[in-house]
């Protein structure tokens, strides 16, 4: 299979404030990319814009999946086209059982043209598939009966996101700090699960601060974001360098982007205070 996700000169604004200022990125099916960068540099914004969050307005540039421009598509159409994002803090949907949610989602993504809500994956097949995926992720079978992200611990939330990814098997998945807020064991479990489920079976864009995730999912490419742009791209050695030595070298090498980044985070702080 040869799928591509091409992000061209992407500019994104949130509530009228420019965040992304010309991002270029190309992912191929089967590749693993790491996206790193200091806080507020625009990593999550990139993910949310690619996924089609209505508050993230694309002001210029495009997102193309297999040559098709998806920039104007709603989030559900993008999901059906093969895009996925594992969120940092997925919202709770009380009263909706994981199993019901996943059955509708998986059916829609696998058979996007049928009439919604009908012809769901047969219950028996679905249960079998879900159970085996949950076993793989070392999840308690009761998990399927719980309400979506409702009262989940940090670790449960992340595992639920990975489970969803496994059930939807997208062409491209963006993982937004799927390792944050977890203890060492949970990080290892999340990392190996992602490797098992996603590695070489989709294109991965991993947003992370940590090295554990990358240890199990060594990136083919590492991108560094600063001030809403990708300022540098390298191989796995770049990820190692950033992990060991931080962003000082990058900040010095790209003073304009650094200044923008500083301003963006300052605005964020003032906004928070206000």
Partner 1 sequence: MSTDLVSHDVIGEINKYDFRTESKAVFKARKGIDAEIVNQISEMKKEPEWMRDYRLKALQIFNEKPMPMWGGDIALDFQDIFYYLKPTNKQGRTWDEVPQEIKDTFDKLGIPEAEKKFLSGVKAQFESEVVYGSLKEDLAQQGVIFTDTDSALRDHPDLLREYFGTIIPSTDNKFAALNSAVWSGGSFIYVPKGVKIDFPLQAYFRINAENMGQFERTLIIVDEGASIHYVEGCTAPMYSTESLHSAVVEIICKRGSRCRYTTIQNWANNIYNLVTKRAVAYADATMEWVDGNLGSRLTMKYPAVYMLEPGARGEILSIAFASKGQHQDAGAKLVHAAPHTTGQIISKSISKGGGRSSYRGLVRVEKGAKKSRSNVVCDALILDAKSRSDTYPYIEILEQDVNVGHEASVSRIGEEQLFYLMSRGLSEAESGTMIVNGFIEPLVKELPMEYAVEMNRLIQLQMEGSVG
In 3D space, the residue among 21, 149, 132, 23 whose CA is nearest the CA of residue 88 turns out to be 149
263 binds partner 1 (CB under 8 A): no
Q: Residue 37 or residue 82: which is nearer to partner 1 going by CB?
A: 82
Selected from 2, 68, 91, 185, the binder of partner 1 by CB under 8 A is 91
Residues in contact with partner 1, counted by CB under 8 A, come to a total of 36
Distance CA 11, CA 6 (A): 14
Among 94, 151, 244, 273, binds partner 1 (CB under 8 A): 94
Pick between residue 147 and residue 215 the one whose CB is nearest to partner 1.
Answer: 147
The residues with which 84 forms a beta bridge, in sequence order, are 173
Q: Which is nearer to partner 1, 84 or 221 (CB)?
A: 84
Which range binds partner 1 by CB under 8 A, 98-106, 224-232, 239-247, 254-262?
98-106
Residue 37 tokens, joined: 């960068």
Question: Does 119 engage in binding with partner 1 (CB under 8 A)?
Answer: no
CA distances from 8 to 16, 68, 168, 173, 180 (A): 21, 13, 26, 18, 29
Q: Rounded to an integer, what distance in angstroms lies between the CA atom of residue 81 and that of residue 188?
A: 30
68: contact with partner 1 by CB under 8 A: no
- Structure tokens given for 36: 């790193």
Does residue number 54 form part of the binding site for partner 1 (CB under 8 A)?
yes
Alpha-helix runs per DSSP H in 4-97: 43-51, 75-81
Q: How do strand 203-207 and strand 17-28 relate by DSSP bridges?
A: unpaired
Residue 112 touches partner 1, criterion: CB under 8 A: yes
| Binding residues for partner 1 (CB under 8 A) | 51-55, 74-76, 78-80, 84-85, 87, 90-91, 93-96, 100-101, 104-106, 108-109, 112-113, 115-117, 147-148, 164, 168
């Amino acid at each position: 299979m040869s799928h591509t996700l091409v992000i061209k000169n992407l500019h994104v604004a949130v509530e009228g404030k420019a965040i992304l200022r010309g991002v270029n990125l190309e992912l191929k099916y089967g590749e693993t990319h790491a996206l790193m960068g200091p806080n507020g540099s625009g990593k999550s914004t990139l993910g949310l814009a690619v996924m089609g969050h209505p508050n993230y307005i694309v002001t210029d540039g495009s997102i193309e999946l297999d040559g098709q421009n998806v920039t104007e598509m709603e989030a559900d159409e993008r999901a059906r086209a093969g895009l996925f994002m594992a969120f940092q803090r997925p919202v709770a949907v009380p009263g909706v059982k994981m199993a019901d949610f996943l059955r509708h989602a998986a059916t829609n993504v696998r058979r996007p043209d049928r009439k919604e809500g009908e012809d769901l994956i047969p219950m028996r097949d679905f249960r079998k598939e879900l159970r085996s995926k949950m076993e793989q992720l070392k999840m308690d079978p009761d998990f399927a009966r719980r309400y979506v992200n409702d009262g989940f611990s940090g670790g449960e939330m992340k595992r639920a996101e990975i489970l969803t990814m496994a059930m939807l098997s997208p062409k491209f998945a963006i993982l937004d700090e799927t390792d944050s807020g977890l203890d060492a064991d949970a990080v290892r479990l999340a990392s190996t699960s992602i490797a098992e489920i996603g590695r070489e079976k989709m294109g991965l864009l991993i947003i992370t601060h940590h090295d554990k995730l990358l240890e199990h999912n060594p990136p083919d490419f590492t991108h560094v974001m600063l001030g809403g742009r990708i300022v540098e791209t390298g191989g796995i050695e770049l990820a190692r360098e950033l992990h060991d030595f931080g962003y000082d070298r990058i900040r010095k090498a790209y003073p304009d982007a650094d200044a923008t980044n500083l301003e963006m985070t300052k605005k964020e702080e003032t906004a928070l205070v206000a």
